[in-house]
Amino acid sequence: ALDEEIAPHDISRTEYIRYIIEVRHDRAKHERELDRANERIEELREELERTTGRIEKLRNEYETETARADELRNENNELRRERNELEENLEHAESRVETLRGRLEAANGSSKNEVGHTGDQVDDERTKSDREASASEDREEIERVVGGVTKGTIDESSSDDSERTDCNHGDDGSEDDAGTQGNDSDDTDAHGTNDPERASAETDGRGADSDESQDADELRACADRLRAYLG
């Protein structure tokens, strides 16, 4: 059979055997290289899968961080808007405090001008009532500006005003007779006359000036607390 295979090729038997050995050797070599190539392909495929998984993980992390960045950006914008609103409220509050201070100073000046002048007792009481109403409106305005922060303090001040009023008046709302008589005596000694209307007007003037000073002190204290809270 070997001779029949060699006859068409015109080669010797020895050369043909050598050829077969070389071919088989090369075939085995190529098969080994092919196996190594297949193994390398598998390794590369596994590495590709790992890289793909890593890419997916990084993509998810990127999307998470992007969402977090958007959230922080929105939060920052919200904080900026809130800061701007607070600054505007602070400016408005400071302007309102200055306005109230001017009104208080004007009220104090007018009350000082009225001290020592006689007048109709009904007009004096009406003026005093108007000043008290104005001071009450100022307190309510400060409470509205602060947003309730100083409400407790103003209520305590109002309670102190009530206690001082109770101390200056009897249970039936009238002034202490002894104090009134003492003031009448002082008026008589100071001016050399015993004019009841003049003495009553001066007494009311001193009381109004004292109340205005107390109201001014309370409102200034409220304004200072307002600035400390907002500043």
**Is residue 84 one of the residues assigned to a domain?**
no
Do 198 and 129 share a domain, yes or no? yes
Give pLDDT, residue 37. Answer: 95
Verdict on whether the full-model pTM lies above 0.85: no
**Is residue 124 one of the residues assigned to a domain?**
yes
CA 177, CA 166: separation in Å to the nearest integer? 14
Task: Count structural domains, the chain.
Answer: 2
> Is pLDDT above 80 for 62?
yes
Do 139 and 221 share a domain, yes or no? yes
| Segment 6-29 mean pLDDT | 78
What's the DSSP call for residue 172? Answer: T
| Segment 204-227 mean pLDDT | 67
CA 48, CA 54: separation in Å to the nearest integer? 10
Which of 7-16, 30-39, 63-72, 154-163 comes out lowest in average pLDDT?
154-163
Do 114 and 164 share a domain, yes or no? yes
CA 135, CA 139: separation in Å to the nearest integer? 6
> Is pLDDT above 50 for 165?
no
Helix intervals (H) in the chain = 2-6, 13-114, 121-146, 151-168, 177-191, 196-230
Do 43 and 117 share a domain, yes or no? no
Q: What is the mean pLDDT of the chain?
A: 71
- Per the structure, the complete domain to which residue 62 belongs is given by 2-73
Which of these, 216, 101, 93, 215, lies nearest to 149 by C-alpha position? Answer: 93
Residue type, 13: R
- Check residues 181 and 133 and name the one with the higher pLDDT: 133
Do 105 and 67 share a domain, yes or no? no
Do 18 and 69 share a domain, yes or no? yes
**Is residue 159 one of the residues assigned to a domain?**
yes
| Segment 183-191 mean pLDDT | 43
Give pLDDT, residue 16. Answer: 75
Q: What is the pLDDT of residues 121-131, one digit of tens each?
A: 545 555 666 66
Confidence of residue 92 (pLDDT cuts 50, 70, 90): very high
Confidence of residue 153 (pLDDT cuts 50, 70, 90): very low
Q: Which residues contact 124 (CB under 8 A, 6 or more apart)?
A: 114, 201, 204, 205, 208
- Check residues 193 and 14 and name the one with the higher pLDDT: 14
- Check residues 169 and 106 and name the one with the higher pLDDT: 106
Give the rounded percent of residues in the chain with a pLDDT score beyond 90. Answer: 28
Do 137 and 54 share a domain, yes or no? no
Are 121 and 197 within 8 A, CB to CB?
Answer: yes
What's the DSSP call for residue 174? Answer: P
HSE, side-chain direction, 13 A CA sphere, residue 12: 3
- Check residues 11 and 92 and name the one with the higher pLDDT: 92
